[in-house]
Structure 1
Amino acid sequence: MPGSEVINLIIGSLALLVGAIMFWSLPVLKATDKNTRFPFLSIIIPARNEAGRISPLLHSLQEQHFQSFEVLVVDDHSTDHTAAIAKSYGAKVLQNKVVDSGSGKSMACWHGAQQASGKWLLFLDADTSLANAYSLFNLLGFYQRTGGKGILSLQPYHTVHRLYENLSAIFNVIVIVGMNIFTFRGPRFKTAGSFGPCILCNKDDYFLTGGHQKILGAVMDDLALGQAFIDKNLPVNCMGGKGVITFRMYPEGFKSLVEGWCKSFAIGSKSTHPIVMLMIIIWISGSFMSTGALLSSIATMHPATIIFSGILYMAYALQTLLFARRCGNFNWSIFLMHPILFLFFTAIYVYSLFRVHILHSVKWKGRKIDV
């Protein structure tokens, strides 16, 4: 067996082990006693041109067994029928304020919080949807059991409908791993912030930290809000949303997917712990190493090398599939071509670095955001 191929196999195998340490687990919420009582809840939904996506969320809220809540949809200057659809589901529609620092999601959330009647606040992105009729029970129950303080944030389970959406698989894994706390012995690291699509907190803590008003202008509002709570020594708990909350990312098409991930990654990666970032880099490199070992062995037609490199390549496919399935219902067959997924991730990350550090701007939902 040639020495270079042995080195590739060894490095690839070590990278596989690093991957297991990097994404050790993703806790999810457990069922809560349905007789548990909770404070009145205000659900705040910032929405900009979400007419095509907000209905499933509003419908899922109507189906909840827990109904002691109000729904505030903050219309962020939409040019479609977002407000009319929200009203048809009985939601109270607020118009986002215009301020010198600009409008946007953070301003919408802040405006909604100011108008909220609930003791607890639940911020939901308009493209999310509660998975079943007991989702709110389970979400509120965990928050209450952990003291009803700080933030509980969930990363929704990604539902895939079209082939191109599978390209988000590695991004979903890295978003979760990049929070620092899902590695082996992850609690030793400080969380990078909070997940943005689903954030539960109590109103007193929210205004104590300055809430979304403090982070106006932050591109990664979820990370910044979590950090604001951490700065006040308030707990920030992050968990997986499987079985509780789902979303479909970038259904508008491939261009939207590229813009969305480009907006997030170069900035968000700054909050990832250096050790976790190193593990991510090693894990991504391992996919390319396993592919190189397989192609090299096929070229030399060395039987033993083909067998070992083939096993390593398939092990990487299986590990990547298992990681991605913690995050969403990605098509299993796409992971047989895992180098394409990793290559796409790498290309978008490099493009994101270019936009942030060279052009100093990103694009999202028709807006140019300076960074």
Structure 2
Amino acid sequence: MLDLALLGLALLCLACALLPAILAAMNLTLLRTPEAETRAPGLISILIPARNEEANIEATLRAALASAGTAIEILVGDDHSTDRTAAIVRGLAAEDARLRLVCVPSLPEGWTGKNHACAHLADAARGEHLLFIDADVRLEPNAAAGLAAHARRTGAALVSGVPRQRMPTLGERLTVPMINFLLVGFLPVAMMRASARPTLGAACGQLVLILRAVYAETGGHAAIRTSLHDGVHLPRVLRAKGHRTDLVAGQALATCRMYRSFAEAWAGFSKNAHEGMATPRALPVWTLLLLLGQVLPFLLVLAGLFGLLPGHTLAAALAALIIALSTRAAITLVVNEPVATIPLHPLTVLTALAIQWNVLLRQERAGAATWKGRSYPVGDA
């Protein structure tokens, strides 16, 4: 009876590993790097909210100023920085008239900081398309033109992609790879493109291009003013109004180093978890899917190697482990993340689940999320 139960568990692990494997195989063929047009019409406004970003802002601006194939303007919203962010932007703006510094007004009640800064930048922008990027994102020269060209070719009002993630430290490698693994392994991209359902909308808040007219029509960031996760909610707002949104491969369009340590990564992913997986309904389901498909096969194979499992059970567990690691390896290689993160995959999954459960349990006690020196109330999910 125990052997039968173990075999059933191993087969369940195999099924849970196959789900993201199949979706990833499909998605990796569908998510392509957009190509720029020979002559790109219109102006693109590159909008960068910045709060105490003196370590990042100069490199980010120099990369954006090197954009090619389209006319651009760059607006940096200084959100009450207490460091040299504004001074650095002013110095570069004196060298290039395409760059402007915009001072963000005081944060009104009921807004989160990034959404307020982005909305203010959009009001000051003149471009046909608005390209929102984070202050730690380095655009490649063809990025802005390529995203706008894809939007025109497909009729998508919003186009987004995940930049290539730089993660030199172990703490980053235990956390950041889950972005692409979850997106590529669990989002049905073909269904997203065929359906206007808001729940299928997805974006990466680091790199989002929106048609200006649609942004104004739908309310843009003002429509999600209380949100801490614009990558989830902004495309859903547009889809709810009947507009198409799309994802592309972003690793050749930009690079980003989100965090500098495990502590920063934990805090950052905790902030987004409030509106992501960390809900009483969703998290138990995600926990089962990820533990059974990505973690337990490793433990079962380890037990089998010590002679604790029958041969057929070990074979099923080994198949699940091979599929899980192969899926992660395929995603890692395509999105150009460090190969050394692949064997860390079970630990990365456990770390992600630990962050989500910590947020869910803490939310009941604290009822608030903190980011960049500001505290925001968190409603019941």
Q: Is the 8 A contact 2:178 2:348 kept in 1?
A: no
**Secondary structure at 1:70's aligned position in 2?**
strand
Confirm whether residue 292 of structure 1 aligns to residue 299 of structure 2. Answer: yes
Report the equivalent of 2:85.
82
Consecutive unaligned residues in structure 2, runs of 5 or more: 94-98
Within the candidate set 59, 62, 76, 2:62 is matched to: 59
- Summarize the Cα distance change of 1:270–1:289 in structure 2 as closer, same or farther, 3 Å threshold: closer
Worse-superposed segment, 235-244 or 21-30: 21-30
- Summarize the Cα distance change of 1:32–1:2 in structure 2 as closer, same or farther, 3 Å threshold: same
- Summarize the Cα distance change of 1:186–1:341 in structure 2 as closer, same or farther, 3 Å threshold: farther
- Summarize the Cα distance change of 1:315–1:17 in structure 2 as closer, same or farther, 3 Å threshold: closer
**Secondary structure at 1:152's aligned position in 2?**
strand
Report the equivalent of 1:30.
34
Within the candidate set 92, 98, 101, 1:93 is matched to: 101
Within the candidate set 248, 252, 264, 1:256 is matched to: 264
Q: Is the 8 A contact 2:192 2:201 kept in 1?
A: no
After TM superposition, give the deviation of residue 5 of structure 1 in Å: 4.1
Identical aligned pairs, as a percentage? 24
> In structure 2, what is the Cα distance between the partners aligned to 1:300 and 1:294?
10
Instruction: State how 1:100-119 maps to structure 2 within 5 Å.
Output: 100-101=108-109, 102=111, 104-119=113-128
Consecutive unaligned residues in structure 1, runs of 5 or more: none
TM-score computed with the length of structure 1 as normaliser? 0.87
Q: Match for 1:206: what amino acid?
A: Y
**CA displacement 1:116-158 (0-9 Å, x = unmatched):** 1222211111111113x222222221112123x5211222221
**Secondary structure at 1:37's aligned position in 2?**
coil
- Summarize the Cα distance change of 1:240–1:49 in structure 2 as closer, same or farther, 3 Å threshold: same
Report the equivalent of 1:39.
42
Instruction: State how 1:147-296 maps to structure 2 within 5 Å.
Output: 147=155, 150-173=157-180, 175-177=182-184, 180-182=187-189, 187-188=194-195, 190=198, 191-251=200-260, 253-269=261-277, 281-296=288-303
Worse-superposed segment, 342-351 or 60-69: 60-69
Q: Is the 8 A contact 2:297 2:320 kept in 1?
A: yes
After TM superposition, give the deviation of residue 184 of structure 1 in Å: 7.4
**Secondary structure at 1:36's aligned position in 2?**
coil
- Summarize the Cα distance change of 1:179–1:220 in structure 2 as closer, same or farther, 3 Å threshold: farther
Report the equivalent of 1:145.
153
TM-score computed with the length of structure 2 as normaliser? 0.85
After TM superposition, give the deviation of residue 345 of structure 1 in Å: 1.2
Report the equivalent of 2:96.
none
RMSD, aligned CA: 3.0
**Secondary structure at 1:300's aligned position in 2?**
coil
After TM superposition, give the deviation of residue 183 of structure 1 in Å: 7.0
**CA displacement 1:48-98 (0-9 Å, x = unmatched):** 111112222211122222351111000011111111222233221111111
> In structure 2, what is the Cα distance between the partners aligned to 1:73 and 1:233?
30
**Secondary structure at 2:277's aligned position in 1?**
helix
Q: Is the 8 A contact 1:5 1:296 kept in 2?
A: no
